[in-house]
């Protein structure tokens, strides 16, 4: 099993805080890897404009590093900032790590007046193109390319990776940080297989193994959407389903839970929008997850969410106070991130709940599937 931790706060904080929570939960995972995703970025040595997409990844060789630089230039991107981690390289287990990079770019001229959708598509295509280049020689790994998002994935004990990249010294801070502490050991070891998974600003990380993985993957692949690739981990589909729900179907966030764990027919018969939801369940039947999973996600507007599979076979808990909230697999994880909260107000979602921390972080929204569903217009 793996452990998950997320912290979201109005004030930026160091990702090291979240690594401390991972350390608190260390008995629960094998520490074979670390995945981090940060949003709401603040660099110590650069005044970052959150409109600039940041490319996160690892160049395994110098040649790949040069290839990357020239590719981005050719595609019309202007490099605004190239973050250099203060490194403690001897703490990294892997050998072929030429450079961990975070590079902020200005979008090419031709996108200046383009709409959001086109810009988002371009960013995804750039990421996929670089990933493909990297896969040819196995010398370049690209995690994300998106404004205000930084991702790091590495093999090894999470705290040690944090030390290696000197995450404690305040070089990078963020308002949202998600962390997962295990390489995907269910399938082959692969940097891409480490959570969180990212697609067009949407990210999820998951606890547990997804038993319905193969049919879901086949269905998503059949959609032929360029970003629905990879699947080195059975958990990657959770990010893609969330993306599909929000971006392709353009449904509200509440629909996610109705798609992955629909209510039963008897429950839907009593539901005020039962007819619509039954139809939605039928058309999205192949996306029903069977658990055991706790899914934690974040969206571009810094909304955070937590949902469980129908049987609630993986733990997760949310706690905090106005302005700062934390979600973790275990209470000790939340304790480590927000020691000064009232723990009696901590909440463990039931099978019908979606816990949402809205961008204003004032209070938790606990939304139940039995609540009226905000229908798309006129439906």
Identify residues 325-344 at the interface with another protein (CB under 8 A). Answer: none
Q: Residue 313 interacts with another protein (CB under 8 A)? A: yes
Per CB under 8 A, 374 contacts another protein = no
Nearest distance from residue 92's CB to another protein, in Å? 27
Q: How far is the CB of 324 from another protein (least distance, A)?
A: 32
Contact indicator for 290, 213 with CB cutoff of 8 Å? no
For residue 205, state whether it binds another protein (rule: CB under 8 A): no
Instruction: Check residue 285 for interaction with another protein (CB under 8 A).
Output: yes
Work out how close the CB of 292 gets to another protein at its nearest, in angstroms, rounded to a whole number: 5
Closest CA to 139 of 188, 95, 105: 95
CA distance 241 to 232: 16
Q: Among candidates 56, 198, 192, which has minimal Cα distance to 135?
A: 192
Stated as kind and residue range, the H or E segment containing 269 is helix 265-269
Tokens of 347: 């909440």
Shortest separation between residue 34's beta carbon and another protein, angstroms:
19
In the chain, which ranges are E strands? 4-13, 33-43, 53-59, 78-83, 99-106, 140-147, 149-155, 172-180, 197-199, 202-207, 294-298, 304-308, 317-321, 324-328, 353-357, 365-368
Taking CA atoms, 59 is separated from 32, 123, 141, 187, in Å, by 21, 19, 6, 24
Does 138 bind another protein (CB under 8 A)? Our answer is: no
**Residue number with CB closer to another protein (86 or 285):** 285
Taking CB under 8 A as the criterion, the residue among 57, 147, 201, 208 binding another protein is 208
Task: Report the residue from 28, 162, 201, 292 that binds another protein according to the rule CB under 8 A.
Answer: 292
Nearest CB to another protein, comparing residues 261 and 303: 261
x/- letters, 1..30, toward another protein (CB under 8 A): x-----------------------------
Q: Which of 50, 108, 215, 252 binds another protein (CB under 8 A)?
A: 215
Q: In angstroms, rounded to a whole number, what is the distance separating the alpha carbons of residues 134 and 184?
A: 20
Nearer to another protein, 350 or 379 (CB): 379
Instruction: Report how far apart, in Å, the C-alpha atoms of 242 and of each of 197, 202, 255 are.
Output: 11, 7, 9
What interhelical angle do 236-243 and 213-222 show, nearest 10?
40
* Single residue of 88, 226, 279, 343 touching another protein by CB under 8 A: 279
291 is a site residue for another protein (CB under 8 A) = yes
| Span of 72-80, 81-89, 278-286, 354-362 interacting with another protein by CB under 8 A | 278-286
Q: Does 31 bind another protein (CB under 8 A)?
A: no
Binding of another protein by 270 (CB under 8 A): no
Residue 246 phi, psi (nearest 5) = -85, -45
Q: Applying CB under 8 A, which of residues 229, 288, 331, 366 lies at the interface with another protein?
A: 288
Report the distance separating Cα 325 and Cα 349, nearest Å.
15
265 binds another protein (CB under 8 A): yes
Number of residues that bind another protein (CB under 8 A): 43
CA angle 106, 176, 253 (to 5 degrees): 90
Which lies closer to another protein via its Cβ, residue 167 or residue 220?
220
Q: Is 276 in the site for another protein (CB under 8 A)?
A: yes
Q: What is the largest CA-CA distance in the chain?
A: 62
Q: Tell me if 268 sits within 8 A of 368, measured CB to CB.
A: no
Q: Is 222 in the site for another protein (CB under 8 A)?
A: yes
Which residues contact another protein (rule: CB under 8 A)?
1, 186, 208-209, 211-215, 218-219, 221-224, 244, 248-249, 251, 261, 264-265, 276, 279-280, 282-286, 288-292, 309-311, 313, 376-379
């Amino acid at each position: 099993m793996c452990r998950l931790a997320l912290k979201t706060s109005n004030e930026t904080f160091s990702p090291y805080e979240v690594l401390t929570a991972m350390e608190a939960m260390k008995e629960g995972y094998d520490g074979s890897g670390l995945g981090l995703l940060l949003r709401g970025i603040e660099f110590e040595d650069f005044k970052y404009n959150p409109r600039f997409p940041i490319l996160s990844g690892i160049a395994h060789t110098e040649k790949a590093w040069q290839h990357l630089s020239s590719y981005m230039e050719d595609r019309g991107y202007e490099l605004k900032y190239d973050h250099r981690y203060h490194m403690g390289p001897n703490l990294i287990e892997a050998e072929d790590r030429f450079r961990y990079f975070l590079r902020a770019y200005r979008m090419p001229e031709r996108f200046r007046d383009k709409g959001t959708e086109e810009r988002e598509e371009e960013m995804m295509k750039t990421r996929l193109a670089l990933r493909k280049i990297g896969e040819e020689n196995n010398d370049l790994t690209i995690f994300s390319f998106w404004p205000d998002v930084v991702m790091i994935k590495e093999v090894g004990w999470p705290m040690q990776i944090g030390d290696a990249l000197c995450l404690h010294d305040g070089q990078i801070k963020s308002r949202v940080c998600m962390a997962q502490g295990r390489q995907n050991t269910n399938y082959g070891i692969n940097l891409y297989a480490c959570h969180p998974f990212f697609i067009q600003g949407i990210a999820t990380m998951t606890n547990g193994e997804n038993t319905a993985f193969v049919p879901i993957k086949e269905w998503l692949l059949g959609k032929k959407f360029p970003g629905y690739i990879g699947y080195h981990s059975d958990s990657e589909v959770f990010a893609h389903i969330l993306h599909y729900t929000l971006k392709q179907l353009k449904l509200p966030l509440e629909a996610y839970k109705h798609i992955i764990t629909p209510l039963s027919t008897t429950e839907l018969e009593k539901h005020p929008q039962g007819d619509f939801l039954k139809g939605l369940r039928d058309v999205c039947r192949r996306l029903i997850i069977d658990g055991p999973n706790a899914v934690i996600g974040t969206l571009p507007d810094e909304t955070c969410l937590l949902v469980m599979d129908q049987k609630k076979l993986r733990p997760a808990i949310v706690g905090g106070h106005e302005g700062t909230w934390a979600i973790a697999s275990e209470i000790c994880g939340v304790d480590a991130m927000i020691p000064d909260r009232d723990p009696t107000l901590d909440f463990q979602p039931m099978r019908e709940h979606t816990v949402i921390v809205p961008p204003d972080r004032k209070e938790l929204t606990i939304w139940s599937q039995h609540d009226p569903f905000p229908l798309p217009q006129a439906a």
